[in-house]
Amino acid sequence: MSEVITVTSGKGGVGKSTLSANLAVGLAEAGKKVVAVDFDIGLRNLDMILGLENRIVYDVIDVMEGRCNLSQALINDKRSKSLYFLPASQTSDKDILNKEKVAELIAALKKEFDFIILDSPAGIESGFEHSIFLADRAIVVSTPDVSAVRDADRVIGIIDAKSQKAKDGEEVLKHVVINRLRPDMVESGSMLSVEDVLSILALPLIGVIPDDEKIITSTNDGEPIYYDKNSLAAEAYRRIAKRVLGEEVSFLDLSTKKGFFKRLFG
């Protein structure tokens, strides 16, 4: 059985592509055959995060339009051999995706892969609907700020409205990832807490990723943070991958020491 996981959000720039890349690596490292598909047409960046931008010859639109076959377009990851990548097209025509062709592509990928990770554009873009309609599971990423959470909430409504599963009377699994959490800011009351975000979105949590500067350098180096043994964010991604595989793992304790004492002693 293969599973299509759409990584999505209401607002752009909240960490979808970074999550898509690191989740794909995590599932591949667990021995699964994984493909990460960049559906953010016009805005290539999953390739950068995976360090594969120099290997791109064909893209997802070339496959859909029949200019090449799937095997020609799939790029094997340099480190995780069971991970493959399908790049976004850099066309400026965001409406180029077509429902039948997307369905054909996903069906072909399902024959080959255990997990198909779709890195979607933000919920306001036109490609969003195409990335959601064949999803078995949606991971909604939000940063802990009011505008991102509000936009995420809107997207959650659209997921059910636009998905094939919902049309068939089934439910799309939905989870929330809270990204770029700053425990010090939560403790000082200047950032929404995990509980605040969950009370608005009312979906199960599948991960909390701390804000981590190393993510920016890892993207520049084309080396997913996942492989960094000393990064808390990497550990957060590893745990998300485990949860997707059905393992029960605890959430990272991200509270600062100061916050811990503050809770103890008021």
What is the contact surface with ligand ADP in residues (CB under 6 A)? 9, 12-18, 45, 179-180, 209, 211-212, 215-216, 219, 233
Q: DSSP for 65-117, please give it.
A: TTSS-HHHH-EE-SS-TTEEEEPPP--S-TT---HHHHHHHHHHHHHH-SEEE
Q: d(Cα 56, Cα 54) in Å, to the nearest integer?
A: 6
Q: Which residue is nearest to Mg ion (CB)?
A: 17
- Which residue is associated with the tokens 């059985």? 1
- Which of Mg ion, ligand ADP, none does 89 bind, CB closer than 5 to 8 A by kind? none
Residue 166 CB-density burial (10 A; 0-12 exposed, 13-18 middle, 19+ buried): middle
Q: Report the nearest approach of Mg ion to the CB of residue 61 (Å).
A: 17
Residue among 68 and 146 whose Cβ is closer to ligand ADP: 146
Number of other CB atoms surrounding residue 206 within 10 Å:
20
CB of 111 to ligand ADP, least distance (A): 27
Which residue has tokens 């969003």?
128
Q: Which two tokens stand for residue 102?
A: 């997307």
Nearer to ligand ADP, 165 or 179 (CB): 179
Name the minimum Å distance from CB 139 to ligand ADP.
12
Task: Kindly tell me which of 17 and 218 has the beta carbon lying closer to Mg ion.
Answer: 17
Give the shortest CB-45-to-Mg ion separation in angstroms. Answer: 5
User: Rounded to whole angstroms, how far apart are CA atoms 143 and 179?
Assistant: 5
163 binds, among ligand ADP, Mg ion, none (CB under 5 to 8 A by kind): none
Instruction: State the nearest-atom distance from the C-beta of 261 to ligand ADP, in Å.
Output: 25
Q: Tell me which of Mg ion, ligand ADP, none is bound by residue 219, counting a contact when its beta carbon lies within the kind-specific cut-off of 5 to 8 angstroms.
A: ligand ADP
Q: Provide the strand spans (E) within the chain.
A: 3-8, 34-38, 75-76, 83-86, 115-119, 137-142, 173-181, 205-210
Query: Quick check: 120 binds Mg ion (CB under 5 A)?
Result: no
Which stretch, 14-22, 131-139, 181-189, 217-225, contacts Mg ion (CB under 5 A)?
Answer: 14-22
Stretch that binds Mg ion, among 40-48, 103-111, 159-167, 203-211 (CB under 5 A): 40-48
Of 8, 9, 17, 80, the one binding Mg ion (CB under 5 A) is 17
Please tell me whether residue 218 binds Mg ion under the rule CB under 5 A: no
Please identify, among the stretches 38-46, 196-204, 215-223, 242-250, the one whose residues bind Mg ion according to the rule CB under 5 A. 38-46
Tokens 């496959």 belong to residue: 63
C-beta of 40 vs 129, nearer to ligand ADP: 40
* C-alpha span between 262 and 235 (Å, rounded): 26
In whole angstroms, give the CA distance from residue 164 to residue 78.
Answer: 34
Which residues lie closer than 8 Å to 51 by C-beta, 6 or more apart?
78, 221, 222, 223, 224
- Does residue 118 contact residue 6 with C-beta atoms inside 8 Å? yes
Residues near Mg ion, by CB under 5 A: 16-17, 40
